Structure 1
Amino acid sequence: MSEPKLKSVLCSSPAGLHRMAYKEWGDPANTNVLVCVHGVTRVGDDFDALARALSDRYRVVCPDVVGRGRSGRLRDPALYVIPQYVADMVTLVARVTAGAEDESVHWFGTSMGGLIGIGLASLPGSPIRRLVLNDIGPVLDPVAMARIGDYIGQDIRFKTFEEGAAYVRLVSTPFGPHSDAEWDKLARDVLVRQPDGRWALHYDLGLAAPFKALTPQQVAQDEARLWAAYDAIRCPTLLVRGEHSDLLSRATAEEMTGRGPKPKLVEIAGVGHAPTFVRADQIAIAREFLTG
């Protein structure tokens, strides 16, 4: 099949305009659209294997959420929050479904991408018709949020790509078993060479600002809003959990199956947070649900 096209769309925030880059796989005339959205420090390239496999049925659109990868950066880092990301995705969906009689899409969201999916799928008139939530739910742990803020706010530089790749592999251990080639790609997707020749992770360190500003009270309020949004979802939903996930507990996953869209739950053995869907067996899970 042909290689993906790199595109971008102009989005708006209270601080001004920014561009969101995205990869588009498959026939550009295909009106069956699948949007795949990554985790907090990852990029749209994470979905290359999934997109390549599903582009026989879909035009697969994989954005770099603002502040990551090829996308622009926000002038006000306090705006790196789910409502802004949802607004950006509304703009993206309008772009990729322009001229189509049916403006609906299917959605695959890993971690943060799943939270964005919950936000968008909960809205009246949402374009999402099928939803995959990959290892994420409405429960937010204040300690985990603080840990994430501390981790993503560190300006870590590496003398060589190999040094950076070893770091990515270490912090990504919960992804589960991967081949050396798969680990290499996971690193290449998020490492970028700096003007001084060193390597760094390809995102705005300002992403940490909203995490660092969180209080336990704010986390509790955000969690209540997420549950309310989740309970408002009406489209068919698949919930995927890594067996050893520390972000989506089994108790939360089981509660989710009885609320809101009452999703089917699939647990992937030997994996923590989060399954990467680069292997054929995981891709088959997504294909079976999405193509129904």
Structure 2
Amino acid sequence: MRRNISITSDLYAVVDTIGRPPVVVGASLGGRTALVAEGERPGTTAGLVLVDIAPRVDAAGQARVRAFMAGAPDGFSSLEEVAEAVNAYSPRRRGSGNVEGLRKNVRQRADGRWYWHWDPRFLEASTDEQNFAVDRLLRAAGNVSAPTMLVRGSRSDMVTAEAANELLQLVPSARLVEVAAGHMITGDDNDVFTSRLRDFLAERVQRADRV
């Protein structure tokens, strides 16, 4: 079983290989991993962008995300079926109707069926109570000093307004940005997310580098 502590170690290994702290953008499980990495080894990152994730998340929303990610273990017969699954999870998602854009999220195997790029087994990491204990995440957040931005979807069923405010209290220098989106912010409105990310890099991270 692959657990979060191993994923955190992977992040440390990448940072050590790079040779300098990078800005880490982490969504959901990636955000939790980045938060733990920075909080337990301060200076790991030059900046932290948490995409709709906080130490405390809504249990029902988390279960819904896990169900979506673990769904279709036998794959999809077409990109249209992939689109149907995405739309069922996020019915308010804005799409062009062109399913070709979903190719970046799936891969086609020799059997002709389409499978999510992610390995469903990595979800075992996010269900490990010890490695994802709220107390551990809260302690890690309290140690974060790197420039931080939390991007929360205003329609998120994972991160409530209260959970976002709790993070801001733990990381007083953090910035909160809300986007008209659900939990999958980059899929719902990637243009707005990219714009907010650029602003953060220019205003917070590059400024910190000059100090």
Partner of 1:263: 174
TM-score by length of 1: 0.61
Give the strand-richer structure, 1 or 2. Answer: 1
| TM-aligned CA deviation for residue 255 of structure 1 | 1.9
Cα RMSD for the two superposed structures: 2.6
Partner of 2:117: 202
| TM-aligned CA deviation for residue 120 of structure 1 | 1.5
Note the 1:1-292 alignment, pairs <5 A. 78-79=1-2, 81-97=3-19, 103-154=20-71, 155-173=73-91, 176-181=93-98, 184-185=100-101, 187-210=102-125, 218=129, 222-269=133-180, 271-276=181-186, 279-292=190-203
| TM-aligned CA deviation for residue 137 of structure 1 | 0.1
CA distance in 2, matches of 1:110, 1:82: 14
| TM-aligned CA deviation for residue 106 of structure 1 | 1.3
CA contact (8 A) 1:161 1:199 kept: yes
CA contact (8 A) 1:136 1:248 kept: yes
Residue 267 of structure 1 aligns to a residue whose secondary structure is strand
Residue 265 of structure 1 aligns to a residue whose secondary structure is strand
**Which runs of no fewer than 5 residues in structure 2 stay unpaired?**
204-211
User: Relative to structure 2, which stretch is displaced further, 152-161 or 228-237?
Assistant: 152-161
| TM-aligned CA deviation for residue 169 of structure 1 | 3.6
Cα deviation 1:54-98 (Å, max 9, x = unaligned)? xxxxxxxxxxxxxxxxxxxxxxxx21x32211111112122233x
TM-score by length of 2: 0.81
> Aligned residues, how many?
201
CA contact (8 A) 2:58 2:159 kept: no
Give the helix-richer structure, 1 or 2. Answer: 2
| TM-aligned CA deviation for residue 168 of structure 1 | 2.9
CA contact (8 A) 2:49 2:148 kept: yes
CA contact (8 A) 1:165 1:184 kept: no
CA contact (8 A) 1:145 1:211 kept: no
Q: Which amino acid aligns with 1:274?
A: M
CA distance in 2, matches of 1:150, 1:243: 21
CA contact (8 A) 1:234 1:261 kept: no
Question: Which gives a bigger RCO, structure 1 or 2 (Cα 8 Å, sep 6+)?
Answer: 2
